[in-house]
A and B are shown apart, each in its own frame.
Chain A
Amino acid sequence: GNSVTQMEGPVTLSEEAFLTINCTYTATGYPSLFWYVQYPGEGLQLLLKATKADDKGSNKGFEATYRKETTSFHLEKGSVQVSDSAVYFCAQGSNYQLIWGAGTKLIIKP
């Protein structure tokens, strides 16, 4: 069946470091792909999305490219800030539901 796999956390980085959070998926067809972010004590917010192969989603300095050949949607940011500390979820759209990865906790130290 369809699934989403994310790299396990927590991921701890220093401020201004380069960030990559890996996400791969299995699916029949070509689902839409999403990254959501959850700040402490809050609900989930859409960070970015891509709806077809080779699309690049971007927002707040984060980027992710829909790679059909590697079934991946890795999240990247060139220079992280303390305020980026949160849990990041990768998900794919499938009919009436989203299929979620387990989430990756990101900790940025000043």
Chain B
Amino acid sequence: NAGVTQTPKFQVLKTGQSMTLQCAQDMNHEYMSWYRQDPGMGLRLIHYSVGAGITDQGEVPNGYNVSRSTTEDFPLRLLSAAPSQTSVYFCASRPEGSNQPQHFGDGTRLSIL
């Protein structure tokens, strides 16, 4: 019963490096999203997808790219890491419908030096 799986759990990068945070779900959910969580600011939406081949920007998309080639996978790419991107990143998925709850992964703690 995997649910939403995020890898890695921890990562340290140097400024300017690029990397991809992986997210996979096995519940056949159409909707997936990426959030960042910073102290005192709750969760902020980075990008989301309503189905394979469809992505859109959330509240804080700058510096991040996403793609959705399959229903299961929704990777988040940092193009050129900056210290301001130090955060905890959560991937979530849910079935279609705004009254449906989201299912979250355990998060990736990312530090940019």
- Which of these, B42, B48, B99, B106, contacts A93 with CB under 8 Å? B99
Q: Interface of A with B (CB < 8 Å)?
A: 31-32, 34, 42-46, 49, 51, 89, 93-98, 100-103
List of B residues within 8 angstroms of A97 by Cβ: 33, 45, 48, 58
Q: Tally inter-chain residue pairs, CB-CB below 8 A.
A: 51
Q: Are the C-beta atoms of A89 and B43 separated by less than 8 Å?
A: yes
List of A residues within 8 angstroms of B48 by Cβ: 96-97
What CA separation (Å) do A103 and B50 show in the bound complex?
26
- Which of these, A31, A46, A89, A96, contacts B50 with CB under 8 Å? A96
Which of A42, A97, A101 has the most chain B CB atoms closer than 10 A to its own CB?
A: A97
Residue in B closest to A49 when the chains form the complex, CB atoms: B101
Q: Are the C-beta atoms of A89 and B90 separated by less than 8 Å?
A: no
Q: Are the C-beta atoms of A103 and B42 separated by less than 8 Å?
A: yes
User: What distance in Å separates the Cβ of A10 from its nearest Cβ neighbour in chain B?
Assistant: 12
Residue in B closest to A95 when the chains form the complex, CB atoms: B98
List of B residues within 8 angstroms of A102 by Cβ: 40-42
Q: Are the C-beta atoms of A96 and B56 separated by less than 8 Å?
A: yes
What CA separation (Å) do A98 and B43 show in the bound complex?
9
What CA separation (Å) do A32 and B98 show in the bound complex?
7
Which of B98, B104, B105 has the most chain A CB atoms closer than 10 A to its own CB?
A: B98
Q: Are the C-beta atoms of B98 and A43 separated by less than 8 Å?
A: no
B85 at the interface (CB under 8 A from A): no
Residue in A closest to B40 when the chains form the complex, CB atoms: A102
Residue in A closest to B96 when the chains form the complex, CB atoms: A96
User: What distance in Å separates the Cβ of B3 from its nearest Cβ neighbour in chain A?
Assistant: 9
**Apart from the given pairs A44-B104, A46-B103, 19 other A-B contacts in the complex at a CB distance below 8 Å:** A32-B98, A32-B99, A34-B101, A43-B90, A43-B104, A43-B106, A44-B43, A45-B104, A46-B101, A46-B102, A94-B98, A96-B31, A96-B48, A96-B98, A97-B45, A97-B58, A100-B43, A102-B40, A102-B41
